[in-house]
Chain A
Amino acid sequence: MNFNRYLQFVVKYNTVFIFLIMLVVSAIVSDVFFTSSNLFNLIRQVTPVGIISMGMLLVILSGGIDLSVGSVVAMSGVLCALFTQTMPLPLAITAALVSGILVGSLSGYLVSIHKMAPFIATLALMSIVRGIGFISSKGAPILVSENASALTDFGSGNTLGIPNPALILFLVFAITSVLLKYNVFGRIVIAIGSNEEAVRLSGIKVSTYKFSVYAITGSLSAIAGIITTARTAVGSPVMGVGMELDVIATVVIGGASLSGGKGSAINTLLGVLILGMIGNIMNLMIIPSYLQQIIKGLIIIAAVLLQRFQAKNN
């Protein structure tokens, strides 16, 4: 009896448990894991994926998917670096951000107004936007102008001992949590993912919300691209290849349902950290990267199976 209750508890908070297990395992297998330099490194590595995952969470909650995020990271990173050479820094950042919002809005428009399948619409944009990134950079990495040192300083600097990009991640996470819990927007996005027709018949304009989640994801992807460029001082058109899969994986590890309506910001953040730790610890153990991919895939399967178990128990 008691065992069953413990089991149910574990299954209910499975994301937290997977996170804790990962922490313990990491501490055991590597004595450098808990050093501050490694933890900072970890947090810097996961920041771009983490920021986008909050947007992806909204998209997935609404019952959609966005495959274009990796391409938007590259495009906005390239554009940001490029613009620093000709524009004042604030303008360059704004322009790069706007490019991301535009791509997200286009996905949102195709999905909400033209009822295109999100997978298809964003798959097309993934290809288009990747191309734009290559064309605008002529296929080569673009260096951030030396006049824009404020950007690179920000990217590699700390505030109160915490890496600046990580602060942005926590800010985005906090806003998303509040939005989902206390704001009408979050509530309706979840409701749409649960039963779009019921929401429509309740007199709610579904298209506005569906449009918005893609626009938000586009802007967050651009922020991730700009941050990556700020950290490395280079905008490269090959940034973020395959990143959409990592982002989707973190949301899924965080317990969100790909059919929509189920997921939370805190669990998604844990998902980000779990996926980040898997990579980090395997790097520390010098596991070859090909093998890393296999292990990563297996862990995703295990996480989702655990959630299935939870759903059944319910």
Chain B
Amino acid sequence: MENRVELRNISKSFRGIVALKNVTLRIKPGEIHALMGENGAGKSTLMKILSGAYTKDAGQIFIDGKEIFIRNTHDSKKLGIGIIYQEFSLVPELSVAENVLLNQLSVTGIWMKWGQMKKKAEEILHSIGFSIDPSVKAGSLSVAEQQIVEIAKALSEQVKVLILDEPSAVLGPQEIQKLFDTLKKLKKEGVAIIYISHHLSEIFQIADRITVLKDGSSSESFMISETDRNSIIKLMLGRSLDAMFPVYESRIGEEVLRAVDIVPENQSKSVSLALNAGEIVGIAGLVGSGRSEIVRAIFAADRRKKGQIFLSGKELHLRSPQRAVIEGIGMVPEDRKQHGVILSLSVKHNISLTNYNGISNQFGFINLKKERNNSTGLIQRLLIKTENENQEVGKLSGGNQQKVALAKWLNRSCKVLFIDEPTRGVDVGAKVEIYNLINELSHKGVAILVVSSETSELMGICDRILVMRKGQIQGELSKKEFSEEVILRLSIGENENKTASVNC
């Protein structure tokens, strides 16, 4: 049978960072094709190229054997490619009906035909097994219902190819079952379905074939009947751990921070953890497993529903980051450009931000000489590559920006430092320097909590790793228990011995 879709030798890089290199993917009509891979393996990028959200750098795309050129999302829609994104694209202020039929609003003429629209939206929702009132605002629905509206929206037009990016993340077991029924129905109609998921149990339940993507470069495909879970997990791993991680002797001291039963805002499960002086603890888990949320909740960057925080045995009532900083807690946030540094300000002004008390008198007048010495000292210590301390941070490379984000917290003596994604988008050289710096800090007795999507990174620098899944700590590994396989299994909720599928 001929392929419905073929992506041949697709390459794509973002500002010099290679996301995809010669990736090939073939899907037949009436096939449910699972696409798997670790965080950052390039699954979403590949799908965004097919849907026109990104344009490829190289490679070819064929539909029904004919080469096609997708320049934007409009092109892909015309070709019958529907996509359901991980992040929702609903308009919260519009009704369900309008959202479902958003792509066709202009086709019905200049006047809204409300009755007709509602009826059509209702039919589509019914056909996939759900009844949601088409006249309520999309923003008022639960996350699961929004996901369903999202699916209905993709099905409002005739699709030849349907892409689902982690559709089950927010759905309950019954809703997932209905989704699978719908997918099976579409499969009978000859639609080619690409299903991205981290949940192996789902894959084995629904998919016909599977492609595993690794580091955006190699991809291997199998019939689902000819493979098993273990071989897929092995395939997803298997990067070589090189000598990137400095060897060091950790000196672990007394407990510094203890967080008990923390429930972040918008989460329902609680997490408890403790950090010791001089210890580096990692949090692993998939994107969306609640890793960043827990760190932000402890730092009081977001609200907590409940939970207690103790610093050296004393309970803290943290309500704002300001309080946390005064108590000696620092946080390097996940999104460097949005939250970590201020791009339009100089390196010096960014560094000073966390510790104006140290360089100003009681009337707030800044000792400019002290400020300059302070920042040039940190620039040298962290090997930040910048013209001088007055260079705008936005003009530095990603790695150097990240170093500025770290320098802010070296500028004051922290007892606890949270680092969310220490090296995302950072080149290898700067990575090693950042690892060294983290080690140096822990040697000075700082308790460090590192959140990272790169398992190898956590294994290289941490003394202990906590693995999170769906807002809970799924397991804790000490240094000698570290294994990428175990961490991956815990992240996706797959135990080695378990073969039956359990959806929780």
Which residues of A are in contact with B by a Cβ distance under 8 Å? Answer: 182-185, 187-188, 190-191, 194-195, 197-205, 261-262
Known interface pairs A182-B368, A183-B366; A202-B345 also in contact (CB < 8 Å): no
Known interface pairs A198-B341, A200-B321, A201-B321; A187-B352 also in contact (CB < 8 Å): yes
Question: Assuming A183-B365, A184-B365, what are 5 further A-B pairs, CB within 8 angstroms?
Answer: A185-B364, A187-B349, A203-B321, A205-B322, A262-B344
Q: Which of A184, A203, A205 is close to B324, meaning CB atoms less than 8 Å apart?
A: A203
Q: Is the CB of B366 within 8 A of A261?
A: no
Task: Name the prevailing secondary structure of the A interface residues.
Answer: helix
**Most chain B CB atoms below 10 A, which of A195, A204, A205, A262:** A195
Q: Is the CB of B338 within 8 A of A182?
A: no
Q: Is the CB of B353 within 8 A of A204?
A: yes
> 3 tightest CB-CB pairs across the interface, nearest first?
A203-B325, A184-B364, A195-B342
Question: Chain B: how many interface residues by the 8 Å CB criterion?
Answer: 31
Interface string of B352-378 (1 = CB under 8 A from A): 111010001001111010000000000
Measured CB to CB, the nearest residue on chain A to B338 is: A197
Could you tell me the distance between the alpha carbons of A85 and B428 in the complex, rounded to whole angstroms? 76
Could you tell me the distance between the alpha carbons of A248 and B344 in the complex, rounded to whole angstroms? 23
How many A-B pairs have beta carbons closer than 8 Å: the answer is 74
Q: Is the CB of A199 within 8 A of B364?
A: no
**Most chain A CB atoms below 10 A, which of B301, B353, B356:** B353
Could you tell me the distance between the alpha carbons of A199 and B322 in the complex, rounded to whole angstroms? 10
Measured CB to CB, the nearest residue on chain A to B360 is: A184
Q: Is the CB of B360 within 8 A of A191?
A: no
Q: Is the CB of A198 within 8 A of B338?
A: yes
Q: Is the CB of A191 within 8 A of B353?
A: yes
Give A300 Cβ to nearest chain B Cβ, in Å.
24
Measured CB to CB, the nearest residue on chain A to B340 is: A198
Interface membership of B408, Cβ < 8 A = yes
List of A residues within 8 angstroms of B356 by Cβ: 184, 187-188
Q: Is the CB of B331 within 8 A of A201?
A: yes
Measured CB to CB, the nearest residue on chain A to B324 is: A203
Task: Name the prevailing secondary structure of the B interface residues.
Answer: mixed
A/B interface sample: 21 pairs, CB < 8 A: A183-B363, A183-B364, A184-B365, A188-B353, A188-B356, A191-B342, A194-B344, A195-B343, A195-B344, A198-B339, A198-B353, A200-B320, A201-B301, A201-B339, A201-B340, A202-B321, A202-B325, A202-B353, A203-B322, A203-B330, A261-B345
Give B387 Cβ to nearest chain A Cβ, in Å.
15
List of B residues within 8 angstroms of A261 by Cβ: 344-345
List of B residues within 8 angstroms of A201 by Cβ: 299, 301, 321, 331, 333, 339-340
Give A259 Cβ to nearest chain B Cβ, in Å.
10
List of A residues within 8 angstroms of B112 by Cβ: none
Known interface pairs A194-B345, A195-B342; A202-B366 also in contact (CB < 8 Å): no
Interface membership of B143, Cβ < 8 A = no
Give B297 Cβ to nearest chain A Cβ, in Å.
13
Give B124 Cβ to nearest chain A Cβ, in Å.
37
List of A residues within 8 angstroms of B326 by Cβ: 203
Q: Is the CB of B341 within 8 A of A184?
A: no
Give B185 Cβ to nearest chain A Cβ, in Å.
45
Give A12 Cβ to nearest chain B Cβ, in Å.
15
Give A124 Cβ to nearest chain B Cβ, in Å.
23
List of A residues within 8 angstroms of B366 by Cβ: 182-184, 187
List of B residues within 8 angstroms of A199 by Cβ: 342, 353
Q: Is the CB of A194 within 8 A of B342?
A: yes
**Most chain A CB atoms below 10 A, which of B338, B344, B366:** B344
Measured CB to CB, the nearest residue on chain B to A179 is: B364
**Most chain B CB atoms below 10 A, which of A183, A185, A187, A202:** A202
Q: Which of B299, B322, B349, B363 is close to A191, meaning CB atoms less than 8 Å apart?
A: B349
List of B residues within 8 angstroms of A197 by Cβ: 338-339
Give A189 Cβ to nearest chain B Cβ, in Å.
12
List of A residues within 8 angstroms of B408 by Cβ: 202
Give A291 Cβ to nearest chain B Cβ, in Å.
39
Give B293 Cβ to nearest chain A Cβ, in Å.
15
**Most chain A CB atoms below 10 A, which of B333, B340, B342, B343:** B342
